[in-house]
């Protein structure tokens, strides 16, 4: 498996921007957002809200909860980038994602954003490279090492690896 089906909804320039930032770990998710034209701001959001994205005067702005741990902020940003890329027509006055990455959008759209977000933040090509270095290690060590290198939570990495 290389990419989820959401990848097919991206334009060639969008794919090129993402792939050009998949050369080193951790993936520079903020740089990807900027190159795609998404403005990112860390903000104090309501308790239980991880991120939101909305259009303000023709500019799409993603706000990430500054009080979440760094790993969560990184996944939230990847998730909001995914909304920006594949659900832009639905952003309107805003999409607010809670800590379980649920919003007013249907579960299908949230799952799509999670899947594409994972492709952006934890590309399979890099995971496979790193797993080669970890041959012979216990799965727990692999998960913890990968999570640390990709700067994501162990839960996100377990989900990515299909271990949850």
Instruction: Please write the tens of the pLDDT for every residue from 65-74.
Output: 999 999 999 9
Domain count, the chain: 1
| Structural domain containing residue 50 | 5-122
In a domain, 104, yes or no: yes
In a domain, 59, yes or no: yes
Of 38, 84, 79, 43, nearest in space to 59 by CA: 38
In a domain, 81, yes or no: yes
Rounded Cα gap, residues 38 and 33, in angstroms:
5
Token readout for 80 is 């909001």
User: In this structure, what DSSP letter does residue 79 have?
Assistant: H
Class of residue 161 by CB neighbours under 10 A (exposed 0-12, middle 13-18, buried 19+): middle
Give the model confidence (pLDDT) of 74-127 as tens digits: 999 999 999 999 988 888 777 776 665 665 656 788 889 999 999 999 999 999
CATH at residue 88: 1.10.10
Its pTM stands at 0.92
């Amino acid at each position: 498996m290389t990419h989820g089906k959401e990848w097919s909804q991206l334009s060639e320039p969008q794919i090129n921007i993402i792939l050009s930032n998949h050369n080193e770990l951790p993936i520079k998710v903020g740089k990807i957002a900027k190159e795609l034209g998404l403005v990112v701001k860390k903000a104090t959001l309501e308790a239980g809200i991880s991120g939101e994205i909305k259009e303000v005067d023709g500019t799409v702005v993603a706000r990430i909860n500054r009080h979440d741990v760094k790993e969560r902020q990184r996944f939230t940003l990847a998730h909001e980038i995914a909304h920006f890329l594949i659900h832009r027509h639905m952003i309107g006055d805003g999409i607010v994602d809670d800590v379980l990455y649920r919003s007013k959008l249907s579960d299908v759209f949230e799952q799509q954003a999670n899947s594409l977000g994972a492709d952006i933040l934890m590309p399979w090509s890099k995971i496979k490279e790193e797993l080669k270095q970890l041959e012979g290690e216990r799965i727990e060590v692999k998960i913890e090492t990968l999570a640390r290198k990709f700067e994501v939570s162990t839960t996100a990495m377990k989900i990515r690896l299909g271990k949850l």
